[in-house]
Structure 1
């Protein structure tokens, strides 16, 4: 797994969180639109978008024009249960599944809580656990309650005033990771209470899978 810490994760900057929030509210936005909405310089917005693209959280498309003029570059967040696909996100979930399969072959009893999960759900769990670990968190899966306890959230202290927005954006990111991985598991809620310096991510099985 990556040794990336939360201080270097894509959502460690609240400006990037705000950009993701705006792209969730309305897709296919331009740098100029995001700059006006955030009061950030266009070059700063461009740098944030490049970082989000590199992490598979944003994709860009070129506007299709039927009139004269230079086509605009449009940005969309890879978030939520109806997330669009990102080549970077697709590669990440595939590599996480490969690493998970390898570990389970080498150490069959390493993850006793995952024994009852089908392969698709296992690979979703591989993807979401690796995402959280790469973001600097410390996730622990509870098969009985179908939850992920997420600890070491530095946002609780450094960005406490924005916690509601942060949790909503991160829930959307995790929904996107599970959607990209494909399978029966869904992220339905984040509960910050009861976990010191962390939260609980509530998972559920899709109705079709159930």
Structure 2
């Protein structure tokens, strides 16, 4: 169920957005690097990272050391590729597809002509967006995702580009993890702050 514009999930605070932006821009970040880049306390960073790992948006690995010393924990964005796939995210894909199939059996008119894999991608994407406080409207002909009104419309204008970039990266990771031809291409330039439309593309077309 959507949250009526309530910002929640992985982008519920701008501090978490900053952390996601860092791990999306470069893999294998250390807590010390994230603290230095954000100015956040180490305990705060740890808490945010744990929430993101638990949600399936970030993965953690242990540094391989060839010298003495305790190996560090490294953090990367869970982008859905085999090298950066989260078990939590994989479970979400399976659950979303199962719920989608149940809905389509109950309401055959909701079925899409996009094909099985693309349909499952959209199942997972819609659940991710609703979990994050959006109310997505999918056009599977024009391949757009309308997120108007954007819950981040009231954000500071200077923060909006990072918010959009991070959210687009999350959507790309969700679609990649689900596996299929659909890719989140870009966020259209809005005419009004509350407008947000994401353009998808079909890589198989």
Instruction: Give me the TM-score of the superposition, normalised by structure 1.
Output: 0.90
Matched with 2:92 is 92
| Counterpart selection for 1:149 from 146, 165, 172 | 146
Q: What SS does the corresponding residue of 2:184 show, helix, strand or coil?
A: strand
> Which residue does 1:178 correspond to in 2?
175
Q: CA deviation at 1:193?
A: 1.2
Change (3 A) 1:8 1:144: closer
C-alpha distance in structure 2 between counterparts of 1:99 and 1:83, whole Å? 27
- Range with greater deviation from structure 2 (9-18 or 157-166): 157-166
Of 175-184 and 151-160, more deviation after overlay is shown by 151-160
C-alpha distance in 2 between matches for 1:104 and 1:89? 22
- Taking structure 2 as the reference length, the TM-score comes to 0.92
Tell me how many residue pairs correspond in the alignment. Answer: 205
1:129 aligns with 2:126: yes
Show CA shifts across 1:158-184 (max 9, x none): 343300110011001000000000001
Alpha-carbon distance in 1 for matches of 2:87, 2:187: 27
Task: Report if aligned partners of 1:82, 1:176 keep a CA contact under 8 Å in 2.
Answer: no
Alpha-carbon RMSD? 2.0
Partner of 2:68: 68
Compared CA separation, residues 188 and 120, structure 1 to 2 (3 A): same
Separation of aligned partners in 2, 1:196 and 1:122: 30
Shift of 1:27: 0.9
Q: Match for residue 77 of structure 2? A: 77
Unaligned ranges ≥5, structure 1: none
> What runs of 5+ residues in structure 2 fail to find an aligned partner?
none
List per-residue Cα deviations over 1:22-77 (Å, max 9, x = no partner).
11222101111110111110001001101111111100001111221111100001
